[in-house]
């Protein structure tokens, strides 16, 4: 029973490893960014699940409610989501430029072209 209470971390770890696998094993640059995104989201889920309180409600003040989830991780993750999207936008812009310069967004083809030069 002790171990079952840790399942939220295991979901996070599995998601994180899926993202990690995509980042290192896939050659397509857009796919890599998607993997990075999944990795990020797993960290978000980790923080939010840390903030969860059994028997608590969402952190909006109500009459007669004394148990709330921790609002601080929520704030941090709000910031992190927006920053993550800004980073992804930057990465996608770089992908567009790579496509214009090399004519491909596959990692190994870019390496081949680099070797030829």
Partner 1 sequence: MVVGIAIVRVRNLLAVTMLTGIYSLLVAILFVLLDAVDVALTEAAVGAGLLVILMLATISLTTRKEKVHATRQSIMALVVVSVTGAALIYATLDMPRFGDPEAPAHVHLSPRFTQESPTEIGIPNMVTSVLATYRGIDTLGEAVVIYAAAVGVLLVLGTGTVRRRRNRKDEDGPEAGEKS
Interface with partner 1 in residues 48-107 (CB under 8 A): 48-62, 67-79, 81-83, 85-90, 92-97, 99-101, 103-106
Contact status: 110 vs partner 1 (CB under 8 A): no
Q: Segment 9-48, which members bind partner 1 (CB under 8 A)?
A: 9-11, 13-22, 24-28, 30-31, 34-35, 37-38, 41, 44-45, 48
- Residue 4 CA to residue 23 CA, distance in Å, equals 30
HSE of 36, CA atoms in CB hemisphere, 13 A: 16
**Closer residue to partner 1, CB minimum distance, 67 or 115:** 67
The partner residues of 68 in beta bridges, in order of sequence, read 57
């Amino acid at each position: 029973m002790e171990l079952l209470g840790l399942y939220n971390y295991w979901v996070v770890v599995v998601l994180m490893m899926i993202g990690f696998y995509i980042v290192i094993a896939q050659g397509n640059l857009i796919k890599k960014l998607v993997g990075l995104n999944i990795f990020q989201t797993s960290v978000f889920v980790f923080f939010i699940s840390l903030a969860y309180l059994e028997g608590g409600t969402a952190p909006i003040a109500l009459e007669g409610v004394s148990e709330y989830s921790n609002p601080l991780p929520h704030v941090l993750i709000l910031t992190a989501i927006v920053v993550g999207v800004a980073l992804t936008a930057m990465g996608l812009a770089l992908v567009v430029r790579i496509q214009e310069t090399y004519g491909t967004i596959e990692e190994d083809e870019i390496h081949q072209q680099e070797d030829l030069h």
